[in-house]
Structure 1
Amino acid sequence: MRFQQQSFASAALLALATASGLASAAASSWGFDDASLSIAARKGSEGIKEKLNQKTPLATPVALGSADSLKVALTAKDNGKGKRPHQAFVVLRDQDSGLEAPFPLTVKENGKAVVQISQKDLPAQLLLAGKPLKASVVIASFGSATGLNTPAFEVEIRLDPATPLPNYEKPLRYGKRPEIHHIFRSDPRSPPKVISLFFTLAVAATVPALFIGWALLGANLNHLTKALGAAPLSHASFFGSIVAMEFVFFMYYTSWNLFQTLPAAVVVGAVAVLSGTKALGEVQSRRLAGER
């Protein structure tokens, strides 16, 4: 019984120690200390040096001229101990557009880090920003430690008035575009009436020529009654389909479109083929019988 009690106590202490270790690991977080901001000005000008605080950003923006160099130095710490993180950046952000530009810090094993930024390192969009750029310090790494992303200071860009402004064209973004209203071209117009009348008369002139040809070739109209008597439906349908096809072409020329013309032409053409086969077969049978 005593052995069981001691084992239970040991297990409870081990669980408590494990829970405490996990709680302390979860409570660890990244931060920085011994931070400073300095601006190396051009010759003849005094530089600026400010201390940075993790919790409170600088109250006034620092000016960065065309020949100046901004330097940020700090010590990255994990749960109060200097350590090299996996990622450490100073991020400059445009307040209006939200565009950000990260600048990685060079970090040693003891956590000491430094980065230098000049105007030539900034993209054209940030150089043309209308408001001071907000600068944040971002530190994070693998593991359970909470990363850091805190505002540290603001940078006011002062361009050289003697230097032309950098060229910047807004990139094409995929998104909602204005609605496109397609304008279809107007329907094709009929040819001039003079041309249409000329070809109409030319076609009409072939009708007398047809009758003259029949007379010269010895056409026998007496066979009309025989043909209608032998196959009245076939001959009437065949002749009617020819007239109907001409009517379809006329309607297509005057008002119909292609989608209206094709179904009608298919139906009339089918009637012409079926009736024409029987009608011409009847004519062939009379010719074979010797009738002229």
Structure 2
Amino acid sequence: MAKLRSLLLFTLLASLSTVLAESWKVNNINIQVVSKDGAKKAEHKLEYPYAIQDLSAEPTDSLKLSFKLENSVRPHQAMVVFQSQDEFQDEVMVAASVKGSGKGRLELNFARGDTKFKYGTRKYSMTFLLGGPKVDEPYKYTLGHIEVKGPSVNPPTRPTRVEYKSQPEIHHQFRPDQKLINQAISGAFTILVLTPFAALFILWGQLGIKFEPLKALATKPLDLIAALVFFGSLAGIEYVFYSYWTHVTLFPVLQYLGVLSLVAVISGRSVLSTAQTRRLQRTAGSAKKEF
């Protein structure tokens, strides 16, 4: 039981020491306002939570901040945030450097600093911030206020303040459906397109054309199958073109055409070879009859 109490007490002390170690300890905070020629115009030694109220600077002055960190770890972020005390609430963040010994410093030349310092004479609040992943509680110290005078010659023009407000609601309008051609007109043109085919069959009938090759193909099943495959592939290609015109996209059409074209080439060679052989046979038969 005594060992358990000792263990609990040791754990409590260890956790307490951890909590104490997770707080930033900053000492020797010193702020100076230095003129252009290096003369010291103001100096304040600060201790939390004391804040400066009557600090002022000319547009050519510099602000210097020095401090000493007592922690063994170093912050990942050390800065002073200047915020204007007017309707614009402009913020300027100036980073401070911290050495391995814990000494930190910051120097801001208002003439070379952010343009926001040159928009006329304005008062700024100064907030000192420290932070890092190894210390849970960040350090925040409001150092006070400083009045920075604007340049008397050629002051920059302040950009117009952007007002963010709600815009009128956008109502999406879909494109109206495309009007289709009257069915009677569409049917008339369909008949007009099919008319040449009707005229072709009528002329074939008048000329007495006979499809004797079909009878010859019927006696040779392989040649008949090749002919059917060839004409079927041609019909399939025509159907693919029709589908592309109506509803199918380009890439599927290219795939279908690639397959059907290969079938048409292979079967067409066989059909044309058969037709050439049959024509040569007829030519040879006619020559024998003449003799």
Please tell me the TM-score bracket, short chain as reference: 0.5 to 0.7
CA RMSD of aligned residues (A): 4.1
Shift of 1:275: 5.7
Determine helix, strand or coil for the equivalent of 1:147.
Answer: strand
Unpaired stretches in structure 1, ≥5 consecutive residues: 1-7, 183-256
Secondary structure of 2:53's counterpart equals: coil
Is the 8 Å Cα contact of residues 137 and 152 (structure 1) preserved in structure 2?
yes
Structure 2 residues without counterparts, runs of 5 or longer: 209-291
Residue aligning to 2:51: 57
| 1:89 aligned onto 2:82 | no
Q: Distance in 2 between matches of 1:136 and 1:26?
A: 24
SS in 2 for 1:120: coil
Number of positions where the alignment pairs a residue of Structure 1 with one of Structure 2: 202
Indicate conservation of the 8 Å contact 2:59/2:118, yes or no: no
Per-residue CA deviation, residues 70-92 of structure 1 (Å, 9 max, x unaligned), is 111222344xxx86433321222
Q: CA deviation at 1:129?
A: 6.6
From 27, 35, 43, give the equivalent of 1:41. Answer: 35
Partner of 1:221: none
Return the TM-score normalized by structure 1: 0.54
Q: TM-score, normalised by structure 2?
A: 0.54
Secondary structure of the 2:14 match is helix
State yes or no: 1:123 paired with 2:118. Answer: no
**Is this contact kept in 1: 2:121–2:149, CA < 8 A?**
no
Partner Cα distance (1:258, 1:85) in 2: 67
Alignment-mate amino acid for residue 39 of structure 1 = V
* Match 2:10 to one of 14, 17, 21: 17
In 1, Cα distance between the equivalents of 2:3 and 2:184?
98
Q: What is the identity, as a one-letter code, of the residue corresponding to 2:52?
A: L
**Does the residue aligned with 2:147 lie in a helix, a strand or coil?**
strand
Which residue number in structure 2 is paired with residue 66 of structure 1? Answer: 59
DSSP 3-state at the match of 1:24? helix
CA gap of 1:20–1:173, structure 2 versus 1, over 3 A, is: farther
Q: Distance in 2 between matches of 1:121 and 1:13?
A: 61
Are 1:126 and 1:133, in contact at CA under 8 Å, matched by a contact in 2? no
Tell me, in whole angstroms, the C-alpha distance in 1 between the residues paired with 2:117 and 2:184: 69
Aligned to 2:253: none
2:110 and 2:117 in contact (8 A); partners too: no
Work out whether 1:26 is the aligned partner of 2:42.
Answer: no
Is the CA contact (8 Å cut-off) linking 1:72 and 1:116 kept in structure 2?
yes
Residues 1:108 and 2:115 are matched in the alignment = no
CA shift digits 1:81-134 (9 cap, x unpaired) = x86433321222234444433222232344332211111342213432774122
